[in-house]
Amino acid sequence: MAQRDLNTGLRFGFLIHDVSRLRRVAVDRALRPLGITRAQWWVLAFLSRRDGMTQTALASELDLTKVAVGSLLDRMETAGFVERRTDQHDGRARRVFLTRAGAKMVGAIRESVEAVELDLLGRVPDEALAQATETLRVLKETLLEILGGEAEVDEPTDLHNIG
């Protein structure tokens, strides 16, 4: 394999970081009128795909500690978006479910995020998007191999004031 210019790779990495950060800012701005935080919409997004997750699984998926997820879920339960129930098979575990209000919020979030995505991707040809997607997939696969298949290399973040 030919020698690569390290500066090109570094610029690529910084560009990925910048695009990810700016996309989060744009999505946060679009969701602000809904009165929902990024942490809350992440919880709702995961539950919309896997309703009834345990709090522990949700904490792991969100890369947060159980304590941080617990306080986030306290606020979301008070707002009426989620409901926690004791697991039928393990009394120590608590499962988290979307309420009707939570499911309705997921729909509103999807509409807002879709509008941002359409604006964001509007100038990118389908072929270029497909190629970029494939490139990022290969990079992710390579990083997972480098890390030994472990997606999580550090302890989950403990964010006391999240959401």
What is the SS3 assignment for 85?
strand
User: Is residue 104 assigned to a domain?
Assistant: yes
- Angstrom CA distances, 47 to 5, 10, 53, 156, stand at 43, 36, 7, 19
User: Is residue 158 assigned to a domain?
Assistant: no
Say what the pTM is.
0.72
User: Is residue 49 assigned to a domain?
Assistant: yes
Residue 95 to residue 72: CA distance in whole angstroms: 14
Residue 10 to residue 130: CA distance in whole angstroms: 22
Phi-psi region of 127 (alpha: psi -120 to 50; beta: other; left: phi over 0): alpha
pLDDT of residue 102: 97
User: Is residue 108 assigned to a domain?
Assistant: yes
pLDDT of residue 153: 44
Neighbours of 16 (CB within 10 A): 12
User: Is residue 153 assigned to a domain?
Assistant: no
User: Is residue 161 assigned to a domain?
Assistant: no
Residue 57 to residue 61: CA distance in whole angstroms: 6
What is the SS3 assignment for 84?
strand
Give the mean pLDDT per block of 10 residues along the chain (163 residues). Answer: 76 94 93 91 93 93 91 96 91 92 95 94 96 94 86 42 39
State how many domains the chain has.
1
What CATH number should be reported for the domain holding residue 74? 1.10.10.10
User: Is residue 135 assigned to a domain?
Assistant: no
Can you give the residue range of the structural domain that contains 54? 23-124
User: Is residue 133 assigned to a domain?
Assistant: no
